[in-house]
Structure 1
Amino acid sequence: MNKITLPIILLFLLILQSCTSNKNILYLQDLDEYSNSTIIYATTKIQPNDILKIDISDINPIVAAPFNINTGSSVQNSVEMMKLSGYLVNPQGNIMMPVLNEVNIGGLTPSDVEKKIKNILIKEGYLVNPTVQARVINNKFTVIGEVKTPGVIPFTEESISLIDALAKAGDLTYEGVRTDVKLIREEDGKRLVYHVDLTTANWMSNPTYRIRQNDVIMVTPNNQKVKNTGILKDPIQTLGVLATLLTLYYLIRTR
């Protein structure tokens, strides 16, 4: 092997290693193509096992008091205690409220819940012009697989982006497959499975862009991690070691 051929081979290996790494690792590689695209905001629908905090107020606090769960100041300062004293949605989509008893809110948005309860209060003659505030207080999603910190992660917003969710989990590991992240979602009594390619930006206009309550994100390991059990677990690492060995050989031969 002459002095010209070996450097060319080394250069080729380094370029190949770099290209392969960028193709599989970089996020949103065509992001500029989707500049000024329309943003889609998701609205959460109430599901079984959701816990709601519902506050009913009126100009006269005394007449509104019977329609609220009696909570002290200590409960107000603890999210966990708020969950214990909140309205749990049963499998039929119902909650039990003071005075109003069973109210069906399954499949409604929090805004719809506010309107429905307000209409009931007015229609039944309980209150004249009440103010109703409803909010889901046990929002959470689950991340499993090849991320740095998998687990069940709570959030306070109505919905967050998939990018935010993965960042909360510490981002994908090097071995995570970025071209096929699975998003499992329960909606209208059905389980939906979406496949997201994080190396492109076209999914940002799809329903998968916003994470919702109870979503599950699954990041699968790449083939090299699954199949290989040796010291060198992927071809990128192998190319790097090979380039290093050839460089050492070249240096020794040219001394």
Structure 2
Amino acid sequence: MKKIFLLMSLLFLLLLQSCTTKKQTLYMQDLDMYANSNLNYTSTKIQPNDILKVDIGDLNPLVAAPFNLNAGISNSQNSVEMMKLSGYLVTPTGNITLPVLNEITLTGLTPTEAELKIKERLIKEGYLVNPTVQVRVLNNKFTILGEVNSPGVIAFSEESISLLNAIGLAKDLTYWAIRNDVKLIREIDGKRLVYHIDLTTAGWMNNPHYRIRQNDVIVVTPNKLKVNSGGVIRDPIQLLGITASLLAVILLIVN
């Protein structure tokens, strides 16, 4: 009888260890506290290895044509991948080379600031009187690794997206994910920054730095049970079944 009691106690302790509490699992448990909060956005800045689409216009399209690298490409050929191949790649020193204007440094500028800089050069150097300039990053992407259902490199077309959008694109976190310490790695102005985000609270939503930008890396760490199991046991029901089977065999041997 004592042996049975001991085995049942061990089973109970094992099941307690395998359980993830509600507090560890649910997202943004204090969301109501942050309702009606003001939204703050920060524009992303151009970085080396960005691929830019730069369109320069004028009231007279023929005058602006020499400043556009892809002026001869028809709209039917303007797929995103084609635009990437023919776009302006920002060099490690932060420059692109525009037709006529030649080399211009754009790193550290937002797309809006880059537009203004190009426009000022066109006017100052006497090329165009009242030009229009549009700058857009074509290769926005982020990397998400660890305990998500669809890890990998994911592209997005917006200037930035929310962390929840990024997790949604990765098809949500797994059951085994540590939700109160999601790591966000970002490179800005030659520095690598690491943010630690607690998804069980909504407080992080008020920080504009936690919006996902191009080249961000999100790392979701597995919990202790997943690490200890070496990835062999992936489901609590599976763990319960294995434990129950072992207990049954031991009871048969004891009896």
**TM-score for both structures, normalised by structure 1:** 0.83
Q: Does 1:138 align with 2:139?
A: yes
State whether residues 183 and 216 of structure 1, in contact with CA within 8 Å, keep that contact through their aligned partners in structure 2: yes
State whether residues 176 and 222 of structure 1, in contact with CA within 8 Å, keep that contact through their aligned partners in structure 2: yes
Pairing of 1:1-16 with structure 2 (within 5 A): none
Give the structure 1 partner of residue 48 of structure 2: 48
CA distance in 2, matches of 1:93, 1:64: 25
Give the structure 2 partner of residue 72 of structure 1: 73
Corresponding residue SS for 1:211: coil
Q: Look up the equivalent residue of 1:42 and give its one-letter code.
A: T
State whether residues 196 and 208 of structure 1, in contact with CA within 8 Å, keep that contact through their aligned partners in structure 2: no
Q: Look up the equivalent residue of 2:26 and give its one-letter code.
A: L
**Cα offset, 1:228, TM superposition:** 2.4
Give the structure 2 partner of residue 6 of structure 1: none
**Cα offset, 1:42, TM superposition:** 2.5
Unaligned 5+ residue runs, structure 2? 2-11, 246-255
Give the structure 2 partner of residue 222 of structure 1: 223
**Aligned in 2, Cα 1:78/1:240: closer, same or farther, shift over 3 Å?**
same
Percentage identity across paired residues of the two chains: 67
**Cα offset, 1:202, TM superposition:** 0.7
State whether residues 233 and 239 of structure 2, in contact with CA within 8 Å, keep that contact through their aligned partners in structure 1: no
Pairing of 1:54-203 with structure 2 (within 5 A): 54-70=54-70, 71-73=72-74, 76-203=77-204
**Cα offset, 1:230, TM superposition:** 9.3
CA distance in 1, matches of 2:195, 2:224: 21
**Aligned in 2, Cα 1:123/1:229: closer, same or farther, shift over 3 Å?**
closer
**Cα offset, 1:72, TM superposition:** 1.1
Q: What RMSD in Å do the two structures reach over aligned CA positions?
A: 2.8
Q: How many residues align?
A: 233
Q: Does 1:23 align with 2:23?
A: yes
Give the structure 2 partner of residue 7 of structure 1: none
**Aligned in 2, Cα 1:54/1:238: closer, same or farther, shift over 3 Å?**
closer
Q: Look up the equivalent residue of 1:35 and give its one-letter code.
A: A
CA distance in 2, matches of 1:141, 1:216: 6
Any idea what the Cα deviations from partners look like across 1:127-160, whole Å, max 9, x if unmatched?
Answer: 0000001100110000111111111100000000
Give the structure 2 partner of residue 4 of structure 1: none
State whether residues 40 and 206 of structure 2, in contact with CA within 8 Å, keep that contact through their aligned partners in structure 1: yes
State whether residues 75 and 82 of structure 1, in contact with CA within 8 Å, keep that contact through their aligned partners in structure 2: no
State whether residues 75 and 81 of structure 1, in contact with CA within 8 Å, keep that contact through their aligned partners in structure 2: no
**Aligned in 2, Cα 1:119/1:227: closer, same or farther, shift over 3 Å?**
same
